[in-house]
Structures are given as structure tokens and as C-alpha cells.
Amino acid sequence: MRTGFADLPLHAGKCPPWLFVRMKRLGAAITAAIVYEHGEKEFLRRISNPFFFQSLGCVLAFDHHSSGVTTTVCGALKEGLSLEEHGITVAGGKGKTSRKTPSEIVEKAEFAGLEADQLVRVSRLAAKVDSAAVQDGYQLYHHCLFFSSEGDWAVVQQGLNAPENAGLDWLGAIIGGKARRYHWLSDGLESFVNEPHAAVCADENKDGQVLNLVATESTETRKASVDLINDGTLLRESGQRTLAECKANAKVLVMQREHLVDPRQYKALANARELCPDNYEQLLLCPGIGSKTVRALALTSELVYGTEASWKDPAKYSFSHGGKDRTPYPVDKPGMYKTAEFIEQAVEEAKLEKKEKLEALRRLKDFLPSETN
């Protein structure tokens, strides 16, 4: 299941080398303690929890209110963890490194005797859903797959939402922009394309502006999109065949004036038709099928078959634990402190010097809101 989103401000700059080395060692020690006491599955469950992830970044001494906490914590864990020692490994990363995810998965999975093809498919589907099936305005630029020696997995990925006036300027995108983090977990996952998440966290709810094709309300749109690719033979019998069949109270579809059609979309659709996908997951995995093509299929499905896609923003919580000013949702204090107690225990049990433990626990305490908020 997708277990949560977190919206963070974009910050420029890099993690100092001395801090990264420290984060790598601390992260590995805390992970080892969690795996030893609770098992590999529990670590994956925790890393897929937005608040635990944010708390871990704070304990590792990184700025918790920054987009860099995602890329840096994942990078530190990737270098610090191994299947041999911790039973957990990480593939992927930021920018160009994320493109190496499949090859890294194959290399690491073969070492553990796992089915690499299945894990590669998981990585591709999670990325495709959050970049194309849920169109919330964030473009993915970071993707990491955590997996255990038993084949269980979690995905942590992040997208960029640049200001409209930023253009292709990366610095302009950072100033005033935001990053949204997505968490996935294999445990409890029934479908990648039907309500795959358990929680979604963002600064604001943008209902009516987010095309959500993994919502239950979009089920018929998903079916119709696959049918359109397969020449419309599955639903044609039950659909409207002539204008005369249109009811007086039929819904009216108002199309936008702008029609930006990329010639590459035609090629992607032609390739998908040759592959004849049986379901929406297979459609998303077809080469060349991206957000524009998925959106076009959804709107065409509405026009041809009368299906309705969901435009409801899946965001439910501000950051990872609500907003302290109760906007858009109140802080989940019980959940916060329960998670904090868990990570405190992990720090205490980690093989670290006493001074390091005290400093880590102090940073965690500073991260938590006061009891009076």
C-alpha cells in the first residue's frame, strides 16, 4: 500500500561530508537495533511511515523541515545498510541515480536469491502511479526501493512542484517550490491502481485539481482506458452507439480550449495497442505511457463512455502528523509520541556511544511539539 505523503519546502545545497558520514553510521546502528528487536518487516513498515521517516532524519541530525531530508536519509541508509549485515538494502536515489534503480535491484536481489524481475516491476509501478496516475503537480526526481532478504519492500520517492514562473531554471524551481514525499509498503498491498495508500500528507487539499486515477471512483475510467487501447471491444455493447440514444438529462462535458498534443503520444498509444494490456497496471507499464497519455485516455473515456474520473486530492494530513494550527488537520499527538517512543528505544539499543545517544534523543525531543500545542 502507499502509506503516506509529506510536503516539504525545497532547499538548495548539499549535506556536508562530515555530517553524511555520521548519518550513515547512526542510521545503520539504529536500523540494526530495530531489525534485531523487531525484524526486517517492522523496519520496512516504519520507514514507510512519514512521521517515523521525519523523526529518523531529525535523530540523524539533518534539517527535518527540508526536502533534503528525503534524499540525504535515503542516501545514508543506502550506503550504510547491507543484506549481509542488516537484512535490508536500498536501490535507487536522486536524479540520474534513480535511473540505475533496475540494475541495482538486479545486482542486489541476485545476491540474496530473490526474484529481481518482480522487484523491478514494483519499482516501476510505484513510480508510474505517483507520476502519471495521480496527477498532483509534483514531478518525481527521487526514487528509492528498500527491500529485505525475504523479499518484502518499501518505496520512498519524492516529487518537485516548481512555481509557474520557474521555467527550466532549477534554482528558480527551488525558490518558492515544494517537494512531496510518497511512501509505499508491500505489506497489505492488494492493488497498485485501486486505493493503494493508507495515508496521504500535504500542506493543502486541492480537491478538484488533482486527477486521481487510483481512486475507487475512477474504477470505470481505468477499465475504459484499457478498452480504448484495445480498440473498444470490451465496453462497446453497453455504450451509447448513436447521438439519438443520448438522454435528455445527459451530463455535459466542457472541453478546454488548449489541446497540446505531443506526436510521441501517438507512438506510445500505437505501441500500447500492439501489447494489448489486460489491465490498468499493464497499461501504465507500457513504454512511453506517461501522465499526458494517461490523462488523454481518461478524458476520452469520459467523452466516449461517460465514465467519471476522480478529481479528489488524496492528501489527508499536513506533513506527516497534522498541522499544529489544526490546518488542514489537527496534530495526531498519540501517533507522534508512540512513534517517538519506538525510535527512542531503538536509539537506546543501538551500538552507539553514550554521548551520541544523548544528542540523538535531544534532537528528537526538540522535533516534537510541546504538550501545550
The answer to whether residues 55 and 189 belong to one domain is: yes
The answer to whether residues 96 and 177 belong to one domain is: yes
The answer to whether residues 15 and 130 belong to one domain is: yes
- Classify residue 197: in a domain, yes or no: yes
pTM, two decimal places:
0.81
The answer to whether residues 221 and 272 belong to one domain is: yes
The answer to whether residues 236 and 346 belong to one domain is: no
Helix (H) or strand (E) segment spanning residue 110: helix 101-112
The answer to whether residues 141 and 243 belong to one domain is: no
Q: Does residue 93 sit in helix, strand or coil? A: strand
Range of the domain at 188: 2-206+315-367
- Classify residue 226: in a domain, yes or no: yes
Output b/e per residue, 155-188; b: 16+ Cβ within 10 A.
bbbbbbbbeeebeeeeeebbeebbbbbbbbbbee
Q: In whole angstroms, what is the distance from residue 270 CA to residue 211 CA?
A: 24
| Strand ranges of the sheet holding 139-148, from the earlier edge strand across to the other edge | 2-9, 178-185, 153-161, 139-148, 88-94
Q: Point out which residues pair with 144 in neighbouring strands.
A: 92, 156
Domain boundary among 305, 326, 341: 305
Domain boundary among 305, 325, 344: 305
- Output the CA torsion 108→109→112→115 (10° steps): -170
The answer to whether residues 201 and 331 belong to one domain is: yes
The answer to whether residues 24 and 83 belong to one domain is: yes
Pick the closest to residue 318 from 306, 332, 308 (CA basis): 332
- Classify residue 52: in a domain, yes or no: yes
- Output the CA torsion 199→324→131→209 (10° steps): 100
Domain boundary among 282, 305, 328: 305
Those residues of the chain that have pLDDT short of 70 are: 1-15, 61-67, 162-176, 198-205, 232-262, 315-333, 336, 367-373
The answer to whether residues 85 and 227 belong to one domain is: no
pLDDT of residue 21: 87
CA end-to-end span of the chain, whole Å?
Answer: 31
The answer to whether residues 64 and 124 belong to one domain is: yes
Q: pLDDT tens digits for 323-335?
A: 434 444 455 667 7
- Classify residue 300: in a domain, yes or no: yes
The answer to whether residues 51 and 28 belong to one domain is: yes
- Classify residue 372: in a domain, yes or no: no
Count of domains observed in the chain? 2
- Classify residue 147: in a domain, yes or no: yes
- Classify residue 53: in a domain, yes or no: yes
The answer to whether residues 66 and 156 belong to one domain is: yes
- Classify residue 269: in a domain, yes or no: yes
Question: By the 8 A CB rule, do 350 and 357 touch?
Answer: yes
